[in-house]
Chains A and B, each alone.
Chain A
């Protein structure tokens, strides 16, 4: 059993730069971060401060120049690209601002995608898909296509897709950035539920202070460093 104080994310001395032509921009230089298991962290900060880049690094779809990134005891900065793909399939779920659903697949088929990377058979996959869609309250939309659903519903499908393979970490990049207040609250409540009742560790980028209220704490990223602010529970 893991206790809530076990580290989920440990970043030490992280360095990340981008090269555009001859220009090199340094996003992080000596960034440190520790997030315990079952935490729900809102990452805030001005546009261009590197919030998305941080999520990409945590999710193993981008790599750093120096430093270490450890997720649930695994040094992902040391994994090869193939190993990272494997790791992502079982350890992390992404939720994007614009949902990133496959337009030509139904809700159920979209949610099933991560399960195609597992050893589960067809029947087990179907059960898992239905369970995930039930968690986000879309049991009645299995056969609907993304274009037949509202933005909030599409984001719920995306959340179901992110949790269907039961990863311990969810990375959400402005998950409510494209939604109205009411719908945003629904989505945030689902994330909160996933954190509270399912023990998911969640890192959510947002620049909406109201959204950050759903998290256990908020981190402010500015000029490549974090400033922590406790939130009321």
Chain B
């Protein structure tokens, strides 16, 4: 056993010491693997940064309550009875007049025309009560005013107004055969809300024939930890089959689908490139085996096993690939870590975020590099192990 280990160490050391003779080819492999890792890490850092930014824009002391398992507001239904029970729940902050700080909301989609492409898209139209804006961070009316309760008035998120036609201040728009007037434009700290249209809840419920129906309840918690009390209260009442989570968690969950999408673009691209670098690695390692043929044969004649020459070749390949991986990770870090980008992602409108490399992301990049090294070394290593000694000894 120890002898096998010594053999493998010796063969590997001999291989690595002769690397300078194959410097350029070896470097080409390192660089090719490095590029693959760089592409992958750039995408993964983008996805990671996006998710962290979105999650970071959610508040910890706001509870979002949806129907159990619905995941998104659009799929959720909350009844009036359930709204009442939640409002009576523990851990919810009270106003000066003793009423709970909650907002039960209706969330529907309407059609809009995109300015840039002139194509139709679904826009979120939210009905909320007077407390709704206060249960979100940094809502500011930047032009016009708030809608008047009981009227067909809407206010429009700044990002949405910029991107879709017909939402300028004072314009009238038709939704579902009803007419609405834009009376205000608002901005929000969390980009997601700037891509919404807001209307008075009772008006929306009656004009969309959804009286008594809700999709979400928001509540301000007395403190972030109160979420547990509210959740166990909800879980303990059979009438409340609801999911209770903090706004931060809800956003993180929503962002994960967009982050997934970025990853799903990044992986195939990186893997396609990985095949290219694999061809390079194979070529390099076959050349290495050919260049070392006489050395390998001599070692075999001395009594070294085929397995040690197999391992030695494989390790050489893996080491070249790891160098590539580390190089790619370092290059990505230097070029892109903290790099700022913005995207129109899923439900989030324009989101400004930073690329963010994490250990997990870097680990995935290195794993891909090692996979290239393993596959690129495997067949050449088999050739090394099976090399006929006599033919290789005498050229």
Task: Give chain A's interface residues, CB within 8 Å of chain B.
Answer: 52, 56, 59, 61-62, 81-82, 85-90, 94, 96, 100, 102-105, 113-114, 116-119, 161
The answer to whether A85 and B393 touch across the interface, beta carbons within 8 angstroms, is no
The answer to whether B3 and A104 touch across the interface, beta carbons within 8 angstroms, is no
The answer to whether B301 and A88 touch across the interface, beta carbons within 8 angstroms, is yes
Closest B residue to A161 using CB positions: B302
Complex CA gap A61/B14 in Å reads 22
The answer to whether B303 and A90 touch across the interface, beta carbons within 8 angstroms, is yes
Is B220 in the interface zone, CB < 8 Å from A? no
The answer to whether A105 and B17 touch across the interface, beta carbons within 8 angstroms, is yes
Instruction: State which residues 303-326 of B face A: CB under 8 Å.
Output: 303-306
User: A52's contact among B7, B294, B304, B394, by CB below 8 Å, is which?
Assistant: B394
Complex CA gap A200/B268 in Å reads 63
Is B257 in the interface zone, CB < 8 Å from A? no
The answer to whether B390 and A89 touch across the interface, beta carbons within 8 angstroms, is no
Which 4 residue pairs of A and B lie closest in terms of their CB atoms, listed nearest first?
A: A89-B303, A104-B17, A88-B303, A116-B6
The answer to whether B305 and A85 touch across the interface, beta carbons within 8 angstroms, is yes
Task: Give chain B's interface residues, CB within 8 Å of chain A.
Answer: 2-3, 6-7, 10, 14, 17-18, 294-295, 298-306, 389-390, 393-394
The answer to whether A94 and B302 touch across the interface, beta carbons within 8 angstroms, is yes
Q: A94-B302, A100-B298, A104-B17 are in contact. List 18 more A-B contacts (CB 8 A).
A: A56-B390, A61-B390, A61-B393, A62-B390, A85-B306, A87-B303, A89-B302, A90-B303, A100-B294, A102-B14, A103-B18, A113-B299, A113-B302, A114-B302, A116-B3, A116-B10, A117-B6, A119-B3
Assuming the A-B contacts A100-B294, A119-B2, are A114 and B389 also in contact, with contact meaning beta carbons closer than 8 angstroms in the complex?
A: no
A-chain residues with CB within 8 Å of residue B389 when the two chains form the complex: 61-62
Taking the closest CB of chain A, its distance from the CB of B91, in whole angstroms, is 68
Assuming the A-B contacts A104-B14, A104-B17, A116-B6, are A86 and B390 also in contact, with contact meaning beta carbons closer than 8 angstroms in the complex?
A: no
User: A61's contact among B2, B6, B10, B301, by CB below 8 Å, is which?
Assistant: B301
A-chain residues with CB within 8 Å of residue B306 when the two chains form the complex: 81-82, 85
Specify which of A102, A105, A116, A161 lies most central, judged by the most chain B CB atoms within 10 Å of its CB. Answer: A116
Contact residues of B: prevailing secondary structure: helix
Closest A residue to B386 using CB positions: A81
Closest A residue to B17 using CB positions: A104
A-chain residues with CB within 8 Å of residue B303 when the two chains form the complex: 85-90, 114, 117
Complex CA gap A116/B390 in Å reads 22
A-chain residues with CB within 8 Å of residue B18 when the two chains form the complex: 103-104
The answer to whether A117 and B301 touch across the interface, beta carbons within 8 angstroms, is no
Complex CA gap A227/B28 in Å reads 57
The answer to whether B14 and A105 touch across the interface, beta carbons within 8 angstroms, is yes
Complex CA gap A62/B393 in Å reads 11
The answer to whether B300 and A116 touch across the interface, beta carbons within 8 angstroms, is no
A-chain residues with CB within 8 Å of residue B302 when the two chains form the complex: 88-89, 94, 113-114, 117, 161
Specify which of B294, B306, B389 lies most central, judged by the most chain A CB atoms within 10 Å of its CB. Answer: B389
Complex CA gap A90/B394 in Å reads 23
Closest B residue to A90 using CB positions: B303
Taking the closest CB of chain A, its distance from the CB of B303, in whole angstroms, is 3
A-chain residues with CB within 8 Å of residue B300 when the two chains form the complex: 61, 85
Complex CA gap A87/B305 in Å reads 11
B-chain residues with CB within 8 Å of residue A85 when the two chains form the complex: 300, 303-306
The answer to whether B17 and A116 touch across the interface, beta carbons within 8 angstroms, is no
Complex CA gap A56/B137 in Å reads 84
Complex CA gap A52/B301 in Å reads 14
User: B305's contact among A56, A82, A161, by CB below 8 Å, is which?
Assistant: A82
